Structure 1
Amino acid sequence: MLHRKLMAVGEPVLRKVQDHPFWSGLRDGSLPGEALACFVEQDTAFLLPAYARALARCAATAPDDEDTLLLGQSIVGTLEARDRLRRTYADLADELGLPKLGEPRPVDPATHAHASFFAAASARSFNSGVGALLPMVWFNAEVSDRLKRDATPGSRYLPWIEVYHPGESYRYAVQAFFDMVDRAGERCSTWQRQLIVEQFSIGVRYEWAFAECCVLQPPWPV
């Protein structure tokens, strides 16, 4: 099955992402509040909306209704997650001593590149798009599970981690994306299958780059 090949490609990068100072700092409470503020701002203002639009493009070109339904449901889920993240951050900012979010700062170059990648891949073809979109779904599940499982007791960010986790039912969405990719792999040509792998391979590296840009941001204005 194609998704197993993709997992083998992505797992070394997933380990790097899991161990990145952004995610490890959330687990042990050492992450500067400015880095989490940057993450929420860049994710909700730029990356998640771009992801939702890429899902919509793939839904419009999906070869069957099952894929269209999954992608349509994912659009709703993505935009609801965006709103939930901003609302949760605002609710917890004072309690956790986090910077307030005001007007969004300019998009970070890494975020802009990531969002542009979603747009270009989904505009190219359905196969290109699903290869590009899969890493965010899969990595989100793995990162969220480890955050919840391995968070240091008493960590500053435990309240955030509890709300950030998308819930146990999210695993069904990940499996549904794997199944969609497997169906695409079965009906496409060899070069189209390779395109899925190539776009996926690029997408997993953007997941690391996004975490990196959040910890390298200049000081947050007060």
Structure 2
Amino acid sequence: MLRERLLRTAEPVLARVLEHPFWSGLRSGALPGEALTHFVAMDTGHLLPAYGRALARCAACARDDAHAAFLARAAAGTFEAAGRLREAFTKLAPDLGLPAPGGTPPQADPLTHAHCCFFEAAAAGSPAAAIGALLPMAHFNQRVSADLAARCAPGSRYAPWIALYQPGEVYSRVVQRYFDVAEEIAEQCGEGERRQLEDFFTQAVRHEWTFAESAWTRPVWPV
């Protein structure tokens, strides 16, 4: 089954992401504050908006009305999540001893910029390419969020943020629907587009690693 192949592709990278210094430092409380500040700025200011726009384009091009409705709702939910997380971090930052984010997000770092461009390019392609590119972010978000909640160290400095970061109880059903839509799109398209779906899924999984890396290393553009 397609779902099983996709999960086999994702699992080795997911295991590394869960133990990445950014996420492990968030769980333990040892993460430098500037890394979390950078993550929130890149996530809410660039990546989530790019993801939401890609979902909206994917919805507009969907060949199935049920897929279009789901993807449109997911796009709206993504923009709402970006605003909710930005507002929550703004309120929490002083308690963490961190500066509150400004009104305009800083320029996207090189890795975040590449991730956003990947979403844009995938959404401009076939429905198969688009869903392949979009599915991993939802899957990884669910798994990473659950892991943060399950393994957060008692008394961790970032426990309040981890609680706010949780996407909600219904999100697991949303992720399952992403997988269902991918399966249904794969059934409707030819072999070439099915390969494209899996190829874009693989590339998107790698971007999930680089986004954690961008928050940890905070790369800058060369002058």
When normalised by structure 2's length, the TM-score is 0.96
Q: Which moves more between the two structures, 114-123 or 186-195?
A: 186-195
Q: Alignment identity in percent?
A: 51
Partner of 1:2: 2
Q: Equivalent residues in 2 for 1:48-59 (5 A)?
A: 48-59=48-59
Number of aligned positions between the proteins: 219
Q: Does 1:47 align with 2:44?
A: no
Partner of 1:125: 126
Q: Equivalent residues in 2 for 1:1-222 (5 A)?
A: 1-102=1-102, 103-217=104-218
Is the CA contact 2:132–2:201 (under 8 Å) kept in the aligned structure 1? yes
Is the CA contact 2:110–2:219 (under 8 Å) kept in the aligned structure 1? no
The CA distance in 2 between the partners of 1:193 and 1:176, in whole Å, is 18
Q: Which secondary structure state, in structure 1, belongs to the residue aligned with residue 124 of structure 2? A: helix
Is the CA contact 1:34–1:99 (under 8 Å) kept in the aligned structure 2? no
RMSD of Structure 2 on Structure 1 (CA): 1.2
1:84-122: CA deviations, max 9, x gaps?
111110111111112221242221000010000000011
User: Which letter does structure 2 place at the counterpart of 1:162?
Assistant: A
Is the CA contact 1:185–1:193 (under 8 Å) kept in the aligned structure 2? yes
Q: Which moves more between the two structures, 94-103 or 168-177?
A: 94-103
The CA distance in 2 between the partners of 1:110 and 1:23, in whole Å, is 17
User: Which letter does structure 1 place at the counterpart of 2:94?
Assistant: D
Q: Using the TM superposition, give the Cα deviation of residue 218 of structure 1 relative to its aligned residue in structure 2, in angstroms.
A: 6.5
Is the CA contact 1:33–1:99 (under 8 Å) kept in the aligned structure 2? no
Q: Which moves more between the two structures, 132-141 or 94-103?
A: 94-103
Runs (4+) off by over 4 Å: none
Is the CA contact 2:49–2:79 (under 8 Å) kept in the aligned structure 1? yes
Is the CA contact 2:149–2:163 (under 8 Å) kept in the aligned structure 1? yes
The CA distance in 1 between the partners of 2:8 and 2:120, in whole Å, is 25
When normalised by structure 1's length, the TM-score is 0.96
The CA distance in 1 between the partners of 2:70 and 2:105, in whole Å, is 31
1:158-205: CA deviations, max 9, x gaps?
100111001111001000000000101112111111100000000010
User: Which letter does structure 2 place at the counterpart of 1:90?
Assistant: T
Name stretches of at least 5 consecutive residues in structure 2 with no aligned partner: none
User: Which letter does structure 1 place at the counterpart of 2:41?
Assistant: E
